[in-house]
C-alpha cells in the first residue's frame, strides 16, 4: 500500500463536505501568524493545524456522509487541511468499519460479499445488516443470506455486528450519501424491505418509525421529558448545593458504574474534582457496542433532556467546562435528538457561557463513533476523540489523572448518569435502600433472543433470572431454553439449570457470570448454539485492535479452536484444556478489557457442553 499525498484535487462534493467541518481554507498560511516585518514568513501554522487533529474523525464522517466513501483524493484533502500524514489518516480511517475506504486510486476497494461492483462515490445505498447473535437467535439463522440474494447495483450490503436494535430480531442501518446525513435504522428488516431497497425504493422506507415500547419502566425510564424537566430542577439543585454535596449524595447512594466495570462513581468524580491540573473534561460514553445491548439508546430516545441535565451535573461536579457525548455511529435517531436538544439548551442559556445563567461556563459537544467496539473502552475513546486510532492506552496513568488531551477526565456510561439524576431526586440514602445492599438502585436489562416480549426491563437488582424471563413472556411456542447469555459477548452463558440465579452483584458472585451491560439473551432449543459461539469468537477476532499480542493472536487462536471443535475433527477435552491456557494468558496479560474478557463466553460454552 503506497500511502503518500498525491496532489489529486478533491471533487467539489468532497471539498464541500470537508470544508463544512473544517471551515473554508483561508490561504496557504492557514493557522500561522505572518511575520509583520516582511510578510513572507509565517510561524506556528503547523502547530495550529495539528491542534485541530481532533477534527479528523468528524472530517472523515463528512466525507462518508456526503459522498458515500473516502476516496484517496478526499483523504488527501483532509490531510492537507489538518497537516496529518496520509499514512496516519489512513490508519485512523481503516480502524472504523463504517468507513468505505478506497485503498489507492488505481486499486479500488474490493467489493463486499454479495455486492455488485459499486464506485466508492457512487449513488449507492449502503445497508448494514446485523448478523450478530440476538438477530441470529430470533431468526433461527443468518439474516444476511436472505438479504444479499437481492443484489442490485444500487445497494451495497454489509454484514454488521450488533446494531443495538436487538429486541426486534433483525436489524438494518441504511445510509445514503447526501449533503445532509441520510441514515436511519430499520428493525425488523424484512425480505420485502430488502427487495424494495434493491429496486431503488429508498423513499418507501423513510418515515417515522413507531417507537418500540419499553416493557417495564422504573424511575430511570419513567422520567420522560416534561416541561418541568426542561427547566432542569436537579441541575439547579446541584449548583445551589455545590459539588461536594453532589459527591456525598452519590457516595451515600453507593452508586457504581453501569458501563461494565462497576467502578464507584463518587470516587471517580472526586478524584477529577480534586486534581489540580486543569482543564478537566467529562465524557458521556454512549458508544454501546456490546452485542445485545440497547439500553443507552432507549434512555436517550426516551429522554434526551435527562441526559443533558445529568451531563451538566457531572461537568459541574467534576469541575469540567467542556463535555463530550460520544455516541455510536449506528444510532442516527438518538444522535439527532441529542443534537436538537443541545441546540435548544444553548438557545435558552442553559449551557454555554454560564450554566443556567449563574453557574460556570459549560459546553457540550457530540462526537460520533464509526463502528469500532473497542472505541467504547474509555482510553481508546480518548484517542478516538483526539483523532488517533481508537486503541486503548496502558493504565496507569488512569483517566482521572491523565485522560482526554492528557488532562483529568471522568467517563461515565449513559445509564450511570440517569442513575445520578435519580440519586439527586430521591436523595443518596433513599437510593441506597433500593435494590440490594451491594448493588442499590435499578438496572436496565436488555432482554432479547427467543422470548415473547423482548425489550428493556428496568428492575431493582435482586430479581431472579427466571422471573425476568417470565416477565418477558417466556420462550414462545412452548419451546425450552437451551442457554442464556448474560452480560453480552464479553459475559458468559448459563444453562437452563441456572435460571434461579439472582441478578445482582451478590447473586452472580461465584457463579462465573456478570451483569455487564445488562444483556439477557435467551436461546431456545432450535437455535444452533455452535454458530452463536463461533460468531462470538469471530466478533472478538474482528474487534481486537491488534495492539497487544495476547489478544491479537489469542482471539485468532480462539476462533480456530472453536472451528476445530465444531467440525468434529478435534478432541473437545483436549481443546478445552488449550482454551483454558489461552484464556489464562489473555486474561492476565492483555492490555484492556477486550482481550481480558474475550474468552469468557466461549469458556462458559465449553463448561456447559454447548459445543459437543
Ligand X SMILES: Cc1cc2nc3c(=O)[nH]c(=O)nc-3n(C[C@H](O)[C@H](O)[C@H](O)COP(=O)(O)O)c2cc1C
Using the rule CB under 6 A, is 446 a contact of ligand FES?
no
Q: Which of 55, 166, 419, 602 is the binder for ligand FES (CB under 6 A)?
A: 166
Using the rule CB under 6 A, is 547 a contact of ligand SF4?
yes
Question: Reduced to 3 states, what is the DSSP secondary structure of residue 117?
Answer: coil
Using the rule CB under 6 A, is 394 a contact of ligand X?
no
Q: How many residues does the chain have?
A: 612
- CA angle, 526 as apex, 462 and 497 as ends, to 5°? 35
Using the rule CB under 6 A, is 551 a contact of ligand SF4?
yes
Using CB distances below 5 to 8 A depending on partner kind, what does residue 416 bind out of ligand SF4, ligand FES, ligand X, none? ligand X
Q: Which of 302, 590, 597, 603 is the binder for ligand SF4 (CB under 6 A)?
A: 590
Using the rule CB under 6 A, is 132 a contact of ligand FES?
yes
Question: Reduced to 3 states, what is the DSSP secondary structure of residue 411?
Answer: strand
Q: Which of 84, 314, 594, 598 is the binder for ligand X (CB under 6 A)?
A: 594
Using CB distances below 5 to 8 A depending on partner kind, what does residue 545 bind out of ligand FES, ligand SF4, ligand X, none? ligand SF4
Using the rule CB under 6 A, is 95 a contact of ligand SF4?
no
Q: Which of 135, 421, 566, 585 is the binder for ligand FES (CB under 6 A)?
A: 135
Nearer to ligand X, 49 or 535 (CB): 535
Question: Could you tell me how many residues of this chain bind ligand X (CB under 6 A)?
Answer: 22
Question: Reduced to 3 states, what is the DSSP secondary structure of residue 9?
Answer: coil
Q: Which of 125, 133, 154, 475 is the binder for ligand FES (CB under 6 A)?
A: 133
Query: Residue 158 Cβ, how far from ligand SF4 at the closest point, in Å?
Result: 22
Query: Minimal CA–CA distance to 416: which of 250, 292, 252?
Result: 250
Per CB under 6 A, which of residues 410..449 are in contact with ligand X? 411-413, 416
Query: Minimal CA–CA distance to 345: which of 221, 229, 224?
Result: 229
Q: Which of 150, 165, 254, 285 is the binder for ligand X (CB under 6 A)?
A: 285
Whole-number Å distance between alpha carbons of 368 and 580: 37
Q: Which of 299, 374, 423, 545 is the binder for ligand X (CB under 6 A)?
A: 374
Whole-number Å distance between alpha carbons of 572 and 438: 38
DSSP 10-45: PPHHHHHHHHHHH-----TTTT-EE-TTTSS-EESH
Alpha helices in 390-510 (DSSP H): 414-426, 428-432, 465-471, 505-508
Using CB distances below 5 to 8 A depending on partner kind, what does residue 412 bind out of ligand SF4, ligand X, ligand FES, none? ligand X
Using CB distances below 5 to 8 A depending on partner kind, what does residue 134 bind out of ligand X, ligand SF4, ligand FES, none? ligand FES
φ, ψ dihedrals at 573, nearest 5°? -70, -45
- Per-residue buried b or exposed e for 462-493, using 16+ beta carbons within 10 Å of the residue's own CB: bbebbebbebbebbeeeeebbbbbbbbbbbbb
Q: Which stretch binds ligand SF4 (CB under 6 A): 482-490, 503-511, 538-546, 570-578?
A: 538-546
Nearer to ligand FES, 316 or 539 (CB): 539
Nearer to ligand SF4, 304 or 595 (CB): 595
3-state helix, strand, coil in the chain (%, to 5): 45, 15, 40
Whole-number Å distance between alpha carbons of 55 and 82: 8
Q: Which residues bind ligand X (CB under 6 A)?
A: 257-261, 263, 285, 287-289, 373-374, 376-378, 411-413, 416, 592-594
Q: Which residues bind ligand SF4 (CB under 6 A)?
A: 374, 392, 544-548, 551-552, 590-592, 594-595
Amino acid at each position: 500500500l503506497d500511502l503518500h499525498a498525491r496532489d489529486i484535487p478533491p471533487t467539489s462534493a468532497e471539498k464541500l463536505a470537508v470544508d463544512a467541518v473544517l471551515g473554508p481554507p483561508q490561504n496557504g498560511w492557514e493557522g500561522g501568524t505572518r511575520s509583520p516585518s516582511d510578510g513572507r514568513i509565517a510561524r506556528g501554522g503547523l502547530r495550529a493545524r495539528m491542534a485541530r487533529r481532533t477534527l479528523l474523525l468528524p472530517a472523515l464522517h463528512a466525507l462518508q456522509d456526503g459522498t458515500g466513501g473516502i476516496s484517496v483524493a478526499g483523504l488527501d484533502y483532509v490531510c492537507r487541511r489538518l497537516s496529518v500524514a496520509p499514512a496516519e489518516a489512513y490508519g485512523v480511517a481503516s480502524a472504523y468499519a463504517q468507513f468505505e475506504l478506497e485503498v489507492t486510486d488505481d486499486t479500488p476497494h474490493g467489493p463486499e460479499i454479495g455486492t455488485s461492483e459499486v464506485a466508492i462515490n457512487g449513488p449507492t445505498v449502503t445497508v448494514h445488516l446485523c448478523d450478530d447473535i440476538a438477530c441470529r437467535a430470533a431468526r433461527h439463522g443468518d439474516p444476511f443470506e436472505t438479504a444479499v440474494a437481492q443484489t442490485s447495483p444500487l445497494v451495497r450490503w454489509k454484514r454488521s455486528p450488533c446494531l443495538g436494535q436487538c429486541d426486534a430480531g433483525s436489524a438494518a442501518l441504511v445510509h445514503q450519501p447526501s449533503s445532509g446525513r441520510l441514515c436511519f435504522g430499520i428493525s425488523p428488516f424484512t425480505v420485502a424491505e430488502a427487495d424494495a431497497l434493491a429496486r431503488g425504493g429508498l423513499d418507501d422506507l423513510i418515515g417515522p418509525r413507531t417507537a418500540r415500547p419499553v416493557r417495564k419502566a422504573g424511575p430511570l425510564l419513567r422520567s420522560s421529558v416534561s416541561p418541568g424537566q426542561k427547566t432542569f430542577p436537579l441541575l439547579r439543585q446541584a449548583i445551589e448545593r455545590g459539588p461536594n454535596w453532589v459527591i456525598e449524595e452519590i457516595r451515600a447512594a453507593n452508586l457504581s458504574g453501569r458501563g461494565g466495570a462497576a467502578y464507584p462513581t463518587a470516587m471517580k468524580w472526586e478524584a477529577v474534582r480534586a486534581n489540580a491540573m486543569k482543564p478537566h473534561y467529562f465524557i458521556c460514553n454512549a458508544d454501546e457496542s456490546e452485542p445485545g445491548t440497547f439500553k443507552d439508546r432507549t434512555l436517550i430516545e426516551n429522554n434526551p433532556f435527562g441526559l443533558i441535565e445529568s451531563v451538566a451535573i457531572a461537568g459541574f461536579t467534576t469541575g469540567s467546562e467542556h463535555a463530550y457525548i460520544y455516541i455510536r455511529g449506528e444510532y442516527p435517531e438518538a444522535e439527532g435528538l441529542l443534537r436538537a436538544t443541545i441546540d435548544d439548551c444553548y438557545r435558552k442559556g442553559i449551557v454555554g457561557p454560564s450554566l443556567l445563567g449563574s453557574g460556570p461556563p459549560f459546553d457540550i459537544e457530540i462526537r460520533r463513533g464509526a463502528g469500532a467496539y473497542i472505541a467504547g473502552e474509555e482510553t481508546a475513546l480518548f484517542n478516538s476523540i483526539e483523532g488517533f486510532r481508537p486503541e486503548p492506552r496502558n493504565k496507569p496513568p488512569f483517566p482521572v489523572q491523565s485522560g482526554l488531551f492528557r488532562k483529568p477526565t471522568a467517563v461515565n456510561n449513559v445509564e450511570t448518569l440517569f442513575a445520578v439524576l435519580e440519586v439527586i431526586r430521591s436523595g443518596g440514602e433513599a437510593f441506597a435502600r433500593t435494590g440490594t445492599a451491594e448493588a442499590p438502585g435499578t438496572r436496565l436489562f436488555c432482554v432479547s433472543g427467543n422470548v415473547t416480549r423482548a425489550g428493556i426491563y428496568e428492575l431493582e437488582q435482586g430479581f431472579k433470572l427466571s422471573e425476568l424471563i417470565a416477565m418477558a413472556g417466556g420462550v414462545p411456542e412452548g419451546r425450552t431454553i437451551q442457554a442464556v447469555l448474560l452480560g453480552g459477548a464479553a459475559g458468559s452463558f448459563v444453562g437452563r439449570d441456572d435460571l434461579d440465579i439472582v441478578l445482582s452483584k451478590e447473586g452472580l458472585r461465584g457463579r462465573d457470570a456478570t451483569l455487564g451491560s445488562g444483556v439477557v439473551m435467551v436461546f431456545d432449543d432450535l437455535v444452533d448454539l455452535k454458530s452463536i459461539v463461533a460468531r462470538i469468537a469471530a466478533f472478538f477476532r474482528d474487534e481486537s485492535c491488534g495492539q497487544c499480542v495476547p489478544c491479537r493472536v489469542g482471539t485468532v487462536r480462539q476462533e480456530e479452536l472453536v472451528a476445530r471443535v465444531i467440525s468434529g475433527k478435534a478432541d473437545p477435552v483436549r481443546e478445552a484444556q488449550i482454551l483454558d491456557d489461552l484464556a489464562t494468558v489473555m486474561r492476565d496479560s492483555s492490555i484492556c478489557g477486550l482481550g481480558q474478557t474475550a474468552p469468557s463466553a466461549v469458556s462458559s460454552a465449553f463448561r456447559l457442553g454447548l459445543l459437543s
